Amino acid sequence: MLLAAVVGLLAPGAGLADDPAMPTPGPREQSAEELAMTADADAGAEHGVILDRTTVFWWKVAHRTASGTITLPTLIGHRQRAKVFSSEARDIGNIVVPWGGDGMTLEKFWAFAVSEDGAVRELARDDLEYREEVGTKSWSAGSWRGVLAGIAPGDVVEYGYVVVVAAPLLPVFEIDRNWPVRRLRYVWKPFVVAHSPAWAGWLSNGLQPEIGWNEGALEITAQDVPALIDEPWSPAKGRRASVIRTFIVNAGLADPDRYWTSVAKADQRALGKFMRGDRAVEAALEEMELRADADLPERLRTSYAWITRAIENTDWSGTARGSGRDREPKVRDSVRDVLKKRRGSSDQIRWTWAAIARRLGARVGKLHVVDRTEVGSLNEAFLSRDQFEAALVGLEIDTEDGPRTIAVDPASGLPFGDVPWWYQDTEALLTLDGSWRKVRLGTSPPARNTLLTSASVWFEDGNELVRSEWTEQGEGQFRLRRRTVLRMEPEDRTEDLRRRCRAGTNLDILDARLVDPGVVLAPWHLACEAEWFVDPAEPDLVVYRFSPDGPWFPEAPDVGRPPRRTPVAFPFPERRVSRVVVSPPAGFRAGTLPKPVSVRARYGRYQLAMQVEDDGRVLVRRMLELSRREIPVEEFDDLREFLSIVREADRTAIPFVPLADPSGDAAGPAPDGPEAPR
């Protein structure tokens, strides 16, 4: 009834982009204030500064298009004006309109640069190119992009647009970005009936923007916003950036406890409906042949291993095999149908295992998890499931210290009790038996996330050519690499494997392949072959030094230089073990080998040792363990020193001496020999 009443408010074909709430172009000349501006390194404006950024999301009541279709559109208006101080800020002239594709119309656009002498250069609407970012045969979404060429120090650059989207959109407002901002203004004007518009903030770096409602519109303003700090191995943007997210909630559920209790009860009903099928679960338990004397933890682990083998994950099977699996009958959302057809989606596999675990006597619920690289952290004031990336199985067990929650994801291919790293080291929301609570998910220990590299290195062609073959085998979180690679198109996959084998070196990669490419949920297993030319080892050399450093020695992270302003954050704790066998060049043998290196620090440990095998080859064993995922700024200098020691030790060379030398010692100084190039 309401829709029919308001359709007449906008005539067919009315110019929505002319709405007075939308931003309009600024002056095509520099003001006296802009002309007087200079770089300010102390304020983070060494290369450039955003003078003004305004974005408006305006929900219109209703609109009849020229074809007669009735829509509830969103007007999105944006204007940004910036000052350039150095050539490092030229990318301010890279224009992106992130609203393109079906259901989105770019109604207005302007972009220009004004030099200090008053010259104006423009980028026209027709100069923009559409770039599809997601899409199918019948649907596309992407962005419009263009470049204002010739940006020079002293220029003022402005661009803006008005886009009409044929649906109401909930905006996400990012406060801090790559450049400092003098003035920032965001506006959201929703149109709702019997629901409450609201917002929730993820604020960091001490930012406190002004946020309030004004005549039904949410308005966010801030001044002198510093640039988002980006350093090597910084925490993910979701952890560093300040963001305001909007949502709509039923007016009767505006209280967080009431809202999340309603979610918990809905989860309880959904799980109960899915788990109907006791006979199918009993038949599966009989097939597992559980030990009669096994305790509950062992039974849960056995059932977990069984379901990962017995049930095909339809989310991944087509990825690896390229077969027409989508033409097979759909699996209904019930434990009975999943166990009967022996296949299901990731969610169906999770809830099927939950049904089995509950039948074994465990308490299970839904564990809603956030992706810490995107959202950053759980915010219970954000009354929406949109903050969650997935729902895993929450297994609750009793301990001496009270209930403990274990996150379980039988669809991931990871060991029991382990989940993908982007869900770790953050809070999750557990719903169990109609109630909810927040739980903290820890990180998996480094010994569980192990990458083992085995390599053979030898000389050919008069010692001028070095050849190598090696494999990488990864467990724990390294298993997820396989899923990432198998999602790629064949050409992209080939290039990615070659890049992984090259690992930042300039080696000529002869072969790069994934072992068992038809299997998705399996350990990571990469096979590589390479060659490179070196200065030949001549028999008259006193000592020929050869460094075994190469792609088979995963490089120690480069965390940058002091001063450090953000914590150092690695994806997950890890252990990388390398075993490299080096054959001596023709006419040489191993001399006196360097002493072993062993370093232990708060952040991990490192070991390097060499020994001569019975066949004369040199075995090099190397281990680098990073035991902490995040290191605070206060400990940066110590971490950097530890990693510096690792990099120096990795360059330790093997001394080879001529076969005619009876001493076996590296006598006297000798020039450095070739190293596997990085």
**pLDDT computed for residue 4 by the predictor:** 29
Q: What angle do CA 570, 574, 575 make, to 5 degrees?
A: 140
Q: Half-sphere exposure of residue 493, counting CA atoms within 13 Å on the CB side?
A: 16
Q: Where are the domains of the chain?
A: 2-250, 257-442, 447-658
How many other β-carbons are positioned within 10 Å of the β-carbon of residue 665? 12
Categorise residue 516: left if φ over 0, alpha if ψ from -120 to 50, beta otherwise: left
Closest CA to 173 of 214, 141, 206, 220: 220
Terminal Cα distance for the chain, rounded: 69
Q: Return the HEC string of 112-158.
A: EEECCCCCEEECCHHHCEEEEEEECCCCEEEEEEEECCCCCCCCEEE
Cβ distance 622 to 575 under 8 Å?
no
DSSP E strands in 485-538: the ranges are: 508-514, 524-533
Amino acid at 594: P
Tell me the torsion sign for CA atoms 333, 334, 337, 339. Answer: positive
Ordered alpha helix ranges (H), 311-400: 314-321, 335-341, 346-359
**pLDDT computed for residue 194 by the predictor:** 57
Q: How far apart are CA 419 and CA 436, in angstroms?
A: 20
Peptide bond into 563 cis (omega under 30): yes
Closest CA to 306 of 290, 330, 282, 292: 290
Which residues lie across from 297 on neighbouring strands?
none
pLDDT, tens digit (0-9, with 9 covering 90-100), for 405-437: 999 999 999 999 999 999 999 999 999 999 999
**pLDDT computed for residue 45 by the predictor:** 87
**pLDDT computed for residue 419 by the predictor:** 97
Q: How far apart are CA 559 and CA 602, in angstroms?
A: 16
Residue with tokens 């208006």: 77
What's the pTM?
0.88
**pLDDT computed for residue 16 by the predictor:** 62
Q: What angle do CA 388, 394, 399 make, to 5 degrees?
A: 135
Residue with tokens 């030949």: 536
Amino acid at 278: D
Closest CA to 203 of 144, 152, 244: 244
Cβ distance 378 to 371 under 8 Å?
no
Inter-residue long-range contacts of 317-320, CB under 8 Å, 24+ positions, other chains counted: 317/343, 317/520, 319/483, 319/486, 319/487, 319/520, 320/486, 320/517, 320/518, 320/519, 320/520
Q: How many residues does the chain have?
A: 678
Closest CA to 314 of 304, 323, 306: 323
Fold of 447-658: Jelly Rolls (2.60.120)
Closest CA to 593 of 656, 505, 534: 656
Cβ distance 151 to 92 under 8 Å?
yes
Residue 122 CB-density burial (10 A; 0-12 exposed, 13-18 middle, 19+ buried): exposed
Which residues lie across from 621 on neighbouring strands?
579, 609
Say how far residue 448 (Cα) sits from the centre of its chain.
20
DSSP E strands in 400-507: the ranges are: 402-408, 426-432, 435-441, 450-460, 465-474
Query: Which residues of the chain register pLDDT less than 50?
Result: 1-14, 320-325, 666-678
Q: How far apart are CA 616 and CA 603, in angstroms?
A: 36
Amino acid at 414: L
Q: How far apart are CA 78 and CA 57, in angstroms?
A: 9
**pLDDT computed for residue 402 by the predictor:** 78
Q: How far apart are CA 13 and CA 15, in angstroms?
A: 6
Closest CA to 280 of 346, 342, 365, 344: 342
Inter-residue long-range contacts of 330-334, CB under 8 Å, 24+ positions, other chains counted: 333/273, 333/274, 334/273, 334/274, 334/276, 334/277
Cβ distance 497 to 526 under 8 Å?
yes
pLDDT, tens digit (0-9, with 9 covering 90-100), for 302-334: 999 999 999 999 988 655 434 444 556 788 889
Fold of 257-442: C8orf32 fold (3.10.620)
**pLDDT computed for residue 29 by the predictor:** 96
Peptide bond into 658 cis (omega under 30): no
SS3 content of the chain, % helix, strand, coil (to 5): 25, 35, 40
Q: How far apart are CA 448 and CA 460, in angstroms?
A: 38
DSSP state of 205: T
Cβ distance 306 to 287 under 8 Å?
yes
**pLDDT computed for residue 8 by the predictor:** 30
Q: Half-sphere exposure of residue 110, counting CA atoms within 13 Å on the CB side?
A: 17
Q: Does domain 2-250 have CATH number 2.60.40.3140?
A: yes
**pLDDT computed for residue 328 by the predictor:** 66
Closest CA to 575 of 431, 453, 427: 453
**pLDDT computed for residue 14 by the predictor:** 47
Find all residues with CB under 8 Å of 654, minimum gap 6, and list them.
Answer: 545, 546, 547, 548, 582, 590, 593, 610, 618, 620
Find all residues with CB under 8 Å of 435, minimum gap 6, and list them.
Answer: 261, 264
Can you tell me whether residue 645 is helix, strand or coil?
Answer: helix
